Structure 1
Amino acid sequence: MGMGDYSPGSIWYYAPNKAAPIVFIVLFFTSGVIHTWQTIRHGSWRTTILLPWAAALMIAGFIIRELGAYHPENLTYLIASTVLIMSGPPVYALINYFILSRILYYIPYLAPMHPGRVATTFVGLDAVCEILIGQGAWRMANSSMTPKQRKLGANLVTASLSLQVALFGSFGLLAAQFHMRANKAKLLSRDLRIVLYVLYVSATIVTIRCIYRLVEYTEGWDSTIYKNEVFFWIFEAIIMFLNTALLNVFHPGKRLPRSNSVFLDRDGVTERRGPGWADDRPWIVTVFDPFDVWGLFTGRDEKTQFWDMSGEELERLRAEKKLNKRNVLAGAVDPFHLWGSRGYIGKHFKSKRAGAGSRATQTTEEAGKPPA
């Protein structure tokens, strides 16, 4: 029986291949283990820690697909494997956002947008993609639902895939703009070039996979793509393994600084340690104004341009940042930093209390003065 032939009683339409899932379980497991070792070795926790997690999602999806191959009538296996396997690629996309953010932290004076905003904006929208997939994939794969409900699921998945394609288009333009600036300034080392080229290839791979899924769900369940398993193995399994293997061979943690505070001096040779380019705006503001257009008008960005400061000035800024750093408990209780003397809301109360105290002191002093 061929991969596109109908199998009576199969919820998948065809009889799922029993050997291929095992192959990809082994491949993704190997890649995930290597990624774990590479992340530990290079200390690139903030950049590549999600690579093993992405591999784990794919592995879990293929394990359940293997079970479904032996129980093709079981709807639960189809739903679970679909959700898990479709959740893996957005995580790989998320990793690319973190990698670009780290590059922009390294050469901040050429960054088209705040490095931290790359993470907050793209990661936030990527989370929306994951939510849409989670809500849509199980509805779409659940044949016990009404056609209207399954259509809703397909529409949610289509919306997620369309958003992913748009995100990667914007991501590619952002990376290309930085690439041109750095190339013109002659600041691109061999390692940075490799990381950027790997980003382009990885983004292309994930985009191809998104387009495949987009076409599949746009054409519907009666399409040749949906009914022929070979398309799944080529455009989902194989190319996503190529993506994770690419990041194994050219691991970004090996070629980028461990810390966001390390940046390249304008001479293109000296590495300096700054305070990091912190964005103290509320998180929701960074999402709606990722380029900080308001900051350009108000001149706020000039206050954060630390890369032209002297060594003594940088040392003072680092000490100030260390003094104001919040502990883990405070970050967990108040992740958006709303309260406290330096919180977005708390600092306004502090300024009001300070103003009231100043006025009270002034009144007391005036009352104590002898009449003229």
Structure 2
Amino acid sequence: MGEENYFKYIPNETLIYVAAACFGVSSIYYSVQVFRFRSWYFIPFLIGCISEAAGYGARRYSSEHVDQIGPYIGQGLLLLLPPAFFSATVYMILKKVILCMDAQEYSKLSIKWLTKIFVAADVFSLFLQAAGGGLQGAKKKNLTSIGQGTTIFGLVVQVVAFTVFLWLTWHFTSAMLKDYNSPAYTCAEKGQERSWKAPWRRCIYAIYASGGLILLRSVYRIVEYAMGHEGYLMVHEAYFYALDTLPMFLTTVVFIVVFPPAVLKKQVELSILNSNAPRPVAV
């Protein structure tokens, strides 16, 4: 082993295996569900799960070579980028809910632009984080500083975009529930018009839950990078597992409990039953 330990601590082997197993199981689950429901918009989410699982595998390798910058940067990137993939799918879930309910008039932003704007912001954020993460492996300190700043900027873009998106989601939901002639009432089971059990609202709550978890993790990462490589958060592994690993795994659990393609399929059936006029809706 060389003199340098890029982790600044000895990574916990047990936690690495547990995290890798958790995301590995999630990857298998979403692989099956994506093909079962032909829900191709969940492919980015699946990629995020695979990246997490691979990231902990790489972290295990890097923990045995703590003096090598290559493995350290590799595992760091694999664990840094998944939320951007998760976010891309969450953006598309809202579009699916709006289309499923035939409720475009209640959205502050037209569905034509909804996913385009936020997915574009997501891709931009992903690019910045990837570029910044790569630069942090440079030997020159000025490039390392640029990489750190670029990563932080990418994370800020992610936080701002997701915050605006959650506000738009809230506005859409509120507008629907205020109008008693909206599909929230006309396409609901009797007695469940305002219930959280209504299929479309379960998807909305899943968006809120996953959004909160992704924001928590992103804010943690911003603070972590702002404090620097020698900062308190960076050199204490417990915070990484509590504020990165756990929120990201819980995000995958949210959509296991509420898998939108399956839930929205039930909403379509309710819409057809109540309207007596079947209409094709892609979920």
Aligned position for 2:215? 207
Report whether the alignment pairs 1:19 with 2:14: yes
Aligned position for 1:216? 224
The partner residue of 2:279 within 273, 282, 294 is 273
Q: Secondary structure at the match of 1:224?
A: coil
**How far 1:182 sits from its partner (Å)?**
1.2
Q: How many residues align?
A: 264
- 1:258-297 to structure 2, matched below 5 A, reads 269=275, 272-273=278-279
Change beyond 3 A, Cα 1:18–1:57: same
Change beyond 3 A, Cα 1:161–1:270: farther
Change beyond 3 A, Cα 1:177–1:272: farther
Which AA in structure 2 matches 1:32?
A: S
User: Which stretch of structure 1 is more off in the superposition, 128-137 or 178-187?
Assistant: 178-187
Identical aligned pairs, as a percentage? 21
Q: Secondary structure at the match of 2:22?
A: helix
CA contact (8 A) 1:205 1:239 kept: yes
CA distance in 2, matches of 1:270, 1:232: 52
CA distance in 2, matches of 1:269, 1:90: 38
**How far 1:138 sits from its partner (Å)?**
1.9
Aligned position for 1:134? 130
**How far 1:272 sits from its partner (Å)?**
4.5
Deviations 1:173-230 (A, max 9, x none): 1101110111122433400111001100100100000000000111212211011111
CA distance in 1, matches of 2:113, 2:11: 43
The partner residue of 1:53 within 32, 40, 47 is 47
Aligned position for 1:83? 77
Change beyond 3 A, Cα 1:252–1:274: closer
**How far 1:96 sits from its partner (Å)?**
0.5
Report whether the alignment pairs 1:70 with 2:64: yes
- 1:4-15 to structure 2, matched below 5 A, reads 9-15=4-10
The partner residue of 2:116 within 120, 134, 137 is 120
Gaps of 5+ in 1: 1-6, 277-372
User: Which stretch of structure 1 is more off in the superposition, 180-189 or 81-90?
Assistant: 180-189
CA distance in 2, matches of 1:81, 1:96: 24
- Report the TM-score when normalising by structure 2: 0.86
Q: Considering only aligned residues, what root-mean-square deviation do their CA atoms show, in Å?
A: 2.4
CA distance in 2, matches of 1:109, 1:159: 34
The partner residue of 1:154 within 144, 148, 153 is 148
Which AA in structure 2 matches 1:273?
A: R
The partner residue of 1:236 within 241, 244, 253 is 244
CA distance in 1, matches of 2:260, 2:80: 24
CA distance in 2, matches of 1:226, 1:156: 17
Deviations 1:112-137 (A, max 9, x none): 22223211111111000111011001
CA contact (8 A) 1:18 1:66 kept: yes
- Report the TM-score when normalising by structure 1: 0.66
CA distance in 2, matches of 1:33, 1:82: 23
Which AA in structure 2 matches 1:203?
A: G
CA contact (8 A) 1:82 1:138 kept: no
**How far 1:275 sits from its partner (Å)?**
9.6
- Structure 1 or 2, whichever has the larger Rg, is 1
CA contact (8 A) 2:81 2:129 kept: yes
CA distance in 1, matches of 2:93, 2:277: 19
CA contact (8 A) 2:99 2:281 kept: no
CA contact (8 A) 2:61 2:71 kept: yes
CA distance in 2, matches of 1:270, 1:151: 62
Q: Secondary structure at the match of 1:247?
A: helix
More helix by share: 2
Q: Secondary structure at the match of 1:225?
A: coil
Gaps of 5+ in 2: 189-197
